[in-house]
A and B are shown apart, each in its own frame.
Chain A
Amino acid sequence: MSDNILEAHQVVKRFGGLLATDHLDYELPRGMIASIIGPNGAGKTTFFNCLTGFYQIDEGRLEFNGKSVIGLESYEITQMGISRTFQNIRLFNNMTVLENIMVGQEPHLKSSWIGALLGLPSVRREEEATEARARELLEFVGLRGLGDQLAKNLPYGAQRRLEIARALGAQPKLLLLDEPTAGMNPRETAQTTTFIKRLRDELGITILMIEHDMKVVMGISEKVTVLDYGRKIAEGLPHEIQSNPVVIEAYLGKGATAALMAQEKQA
């Protein structure tokens, strides 16, 4: 097994005439915290959706742990060990917080409906264990005591955290976070950044995130990849990316680098 948990080779995803990802190569070493950045519409979330079976790619190879994920249903990919959160929070709103996390543990549950009808002891034990595990996760993400609330009634920051707890229920090897700090205030953002780092350090989960907040990206990423129009335009350590003229132009438009340089010279 190679040391890369995730490998993408020449991945192409088309929407009609639009190339959402354009012959994308990507490698993610195990145990890393990596970020994907890029302007709106650069194909970041599309890439996530291809990875998790929401979309099927048109060309190329996609391998997780050395096994191809092409053609697999999204639930099968989750069972292999990739979990994700969503850019616009998508919780099971009318279920309780605890139930949300219990659903997250699906890949590891075995009991059948027949067992549930008969009230088998094994089923009851599994339910109890699932609930206990859900409470642990609740505590781990700092939402202790909110288990009986409906998910939709949690404040925004807590909802983001619940989404991560739900994703952790599957005990993933790779966690995809789609803008985990979107809409958060600076204090919440700082907390979440620490929290993401804990996920890797304490649980050993490889983390790939899409993020716009440069403080977060530069603060914890060990590798930053920049996408623009579905192509990878730069990749490297945070400080390398920060000063890369191609990246600045992708964000701010042509000529931006020159202007910035001129500004610096004046100062």
Chain B
Amino acid sequence: MNEELRGTIKTGLIAGIVTLSLGMIGILVAFNERFIVTDVVTLADLLLFGMAVAAGYLAANSLKQSSVVSKLLHGGLAGVLTGMPTFLLILLARSWEDIRSSFINVGPDLLDIVTLNNANEIMGGILLMVVFGVLGLVGVGIALLPERFRRPIFMGLTWSVGSGVMSDILSGILRPRLSTDTLRSLFGNTGLQPVPFTVLFVVLTAVFFWWQQGGQTRYHALRQNLTPSQQKNTRRISISLLVIFLFILPSLLGVYLSEIFNEVGRFVLMGLGLNIAIGLAGLLDLGYVTNFAVGAYIMALLTSSSEFGLDNPWSFWLAVPICILAAMFTGFILALPVLKMRGDYLAIATLGFGEIIRVLARSDALKPVIGGAQGILQIPAAQIGGFLSQTLGYVLNPINSFLERFELGILATNNNGEIVFGNPPQLYYLFILASLLMLFISRRLNNSRTGRRWMAIREDEDVAAAMGINTTNAKVLAFTLSAASGGLAGAIFAAKLGSIFPSSFELLISINVLALIIVGGLGSIPGVIVGAFALVGIPQLLSEFAEFRLLLYGIALIVMMLVRPEGLWPSEVHRREIHREGDDETAVPVSVKP
């Protein structure tokens, strides 16, 4: 058997086993509920058939200098092999009556999907392999397309499929603004209707093609030709537009989506904090939830009107700085014992701290103070009252009555003239304020001497010390400042929920935050935001994902490490590196001048 044939068989079987796994762990059945193109293509179909196309594409691509015919043969074979393991599963399910007692997901629903709704299961299985073979050929076709066509088509497809998957959001935003009939012609129960989907795909592909064939260069030329003052104005206008957009966003999104944004905001806050410790200073802190918990509990103790609170509960705004300081103090104290530890040892020790805080929170010893497993209730929502809210009302109310005409709005006062951050769209403003503040602080620190010291320690602690850096101080500072953002997130979290329980502070939070900064790009501030949307936002939007969230995290991390180790949005320096990879910059002649 020759090398290339073996490669194709391997590709096909790997794709086949992945397809089989998707079915057996229940992803196919769960995803079959969500249409991308209404009544035509579901998310499950996309995964299933996408696998065969990918197998064909990879098989054709790994062949060196072959004729089109042999590429087609290899691609077809890879496609058929992708269906093979699933076909075997169908055979097994036929002969093994109670297969569900061992493999709970192999039920009639799954068999319907993989036999393409064929009544005769064997015929269906064979049909599946044939279809997969044809799709393998499609994959080869894609591989044969010249790059300048393939890229726009791929991008167009990605974005239109993305819109299909996210059609709930689109329809949610458009619902108050369009008639029911128009809405129904665009969206089904889930997914985009076939016609709008096709139009979207064609338009997007055309746009991407144009952009690539000269649009991009023309755009950059246009920007280059602007005078400096024009450039400054363009920047100002785009920033203003962005700010306005951020301000009206919650009214655009509605309650449910605002809540998802708030969740993302909470993780952006924690991500920015942890990014200081891990991304900049290289201190692998796996107990970040500690800071979050401290912030939340201090907020609860200071503002709650329950028996655990103070006799005269504080207001949210007074308590916030205390929460932040308390978290920073915790960060400082916890930094002391682990100063001499590096890498893996530090990770394990901090992992322990994260667990200790949870155990303490639910312990009987501390129950009289912080409520044990029953937690602390009756935490009031943050609010602005009195003179300040009246003054703000003078500004906000006219804007709101103006925006109402477009079914939009911003931060609103209630009937008593107070601003209460009680429901998701109102809370959004609290999160955006906190996030912008932390973004600003992170940026300042990042580009300062302090940030440089941290980076030096991350790169080589001994050498950093030999350069005159007091590494002990710098590391303690990193832990302390990193904790601040977690404390802030915890404080807002407590005021948002109105009650806190130890179960809210589990290890998973630390892991989520770590995963999102890795996926976004270690040390990159925009990466934190992108990572939070990818790992927190998307699973919340697609309820089917919830069950497979951890699995998807694992897959996302592995794929990222293999394909894009620098992250979705890498820090500036790393990005510069990627752009340079092509040309041989190292060939710059270097000589000492006499």
A-side interface residues toward B, CB under 8 Å?
Answer: 52-54, 73-75, 78-79, 83-84, 86, 90-96, 99, 102-104, 106-107, 109, 111-113, 116-117, 119, 123, 126-127, 130, 141-143, 145-146, 148-150, 153-155, 157-158, 161, 166, 169-170, 191-192, 194-195
Contacts and interface: CB of A to CB of B under 8 A. Distances in A.
Contacts of B97: none
Given A79-B468, A170-B467, 7 more contacts: A73-B470, A74-B462, A94-B574, A102-B452, A127-B448, A142-B591, A166-B467
A92 B456 contact: yes
Given A117-B441, A146-B588, A94 B466 contact: no
B242 interface: no
Given A103-B452, A155-B590, A191-B592, A90 B463 contact: yes
21 contacts: A53-B465, A54-B462, A75-B468, A78-B467, A95-B459, A99-B455, A102-B449, A103-B456, A106-B453, A111-B448, A111-B449, A113-B445, A113-B481, A116-B444, A127-B448, A142-B592, A150-B577, A169-B467, A191-B591, A191-B592, A195-B592
B449 A78 contact: no
A191 B591 CA distance: 8
Interface string B547-578: 00000000000000000000000000110110
A192 B592 CA distance: 8
Top 10 closest pairs, chain A to chain B, by CB: A116-B448, A107-B468, A78-B468, A92-B459, A106-B468, A113-B450, A142-B592, A74-B465, A191-B592, A103-B456
A109 B573 contact: no
Give the residue among A96, A117, A141 with the most B Cβ atoms within 10 A. A117
Interface string B427-467: 00000000000000100110011101101100110111111
Contact of B470 (A75, A94, A192): A75
A54 B456 CA distance: 17
Nearest to B574: A94
Given A78-B467, A106-B469, A116 B586 contact: no
B445 A74 contact: no
B592 A117 contact: no
A91 B591 CA distance: 20
Given A103-B469, A170-B468, A116 B445 contact: yes
Nearest to A124: B448
Contact of A92 (B455, B470, B477, B593): B455
Contacts of A157: 590
A205 to B, nearest CB: 16
A255 to B, nearest CB: 41
Contacts of A86: 463
B471 A116 contact: no
A53 B594 CA distance: 35
B573 A150 contact: yes
A89 to B, nearest CB: 10
B64 to A, nearest CB: 30
Given A127-B448, A149-B585, A75 B463 contact: no
A93 B465 contact: no
A116 B455 contact: no
Contacts of B586: 153-155
Contacts of A104: 467
A104 B469 CA distance: 9
B593 A142 contact: yes
A109 B466 contact: no
Interface of B: 441, 444-445, 448-450, 452-453, 455-456, 459-460, 462-471, 477, 481, 573-574, 576-577, 580, 585-586, 588, 590-594
A71 to B, nearest CB: 15
B477 A113 contact: yes
Contacts of A93: 459
Give the residue among B445, B463, B471 with the most A Cβ atoms within 10 A. B463
A58 to B, nearest CB: 20
Contacts, number: 120
A145 B449 contact: no
Nearest to B441: A117
B469 to A, nearest CB: 5
Contacts of A149: 585
Nearest to B477: A113
B459 A117 contact: no
A103 B453 contact: yes
B461 to A, nearest CB: 10
B588 A94 contact: no
A53 B459 CA distance: 19
Contacts of B574: 94
A92 B449 CA distance: 15
A90 B467 contact: no
A84 B467 CA distance: 9
Contacts of A94: 455, 459, 573-574
Given A119-B444, A150-B573, A194-B594, A73 B465 contact: yes
Contacts of B452: 95, 99, 102-103
A111 to B, nearest CB: 5
A52 B466 contact: yes
A48 to B, nearest CB: 10
Give the residue among A92, A99, A113 with the most B Cβ atoms within 10 A. A113
A20 to B, nearest CB: 18
A109 B590 contact: no
A117 B450 CA distance: 10
B242 to A, nearest CB: 22
Nearest to B593: A142
A110 to B, nearest CB: 9
Contact of B455 (A90, A95, A112, A166): A95
Contacts of B456: 92, 95, 103
Contacts of B585: 149, 153
Nearest to A95: B455
Given A75-B465, A84-B466, A170-B468, A142 B590 contact: yes
Nearest to B581: A153
Give the residue among B441, B452, B471, B574 with the most A Cβ atoms within 10 A. B452
B460 to A, nearest CB: 6
Give the residue among A83, A127, A149 with the most B Cβ atoms within 10 A. A149
Nearest to A123: B448
Contacts of B481: 113
A96 B441 contact: no
Nearest to A102: B452
A117 B481 CA distance: 12
A233 to B, nearest CB: 29
Contacts of A91: 459
Given A92-B455, A148-B576, A155-B586, A113 B592 contact: no
Nearest to B448: A116
A119 B594 CA distance: 41
Give the residue among B453, B456, B477 with the most A Cβ atoms within 10 A. B456
Nearest to A152: B577
Contacts of A192: 592
A149 to B, nearest CB: 7
B466 A54 contact: yes
Nearest to B450: A113
A102 B591 CA distance: 22
A80 to B, nearest CB: 10
A75 B448 contact: no
A107 B466 CA distance: 10
B588 A145 contact: yes
A78 B466 contact: yes
A106 B594 CA distance: 29
Contacts of B444: 116-117, 119
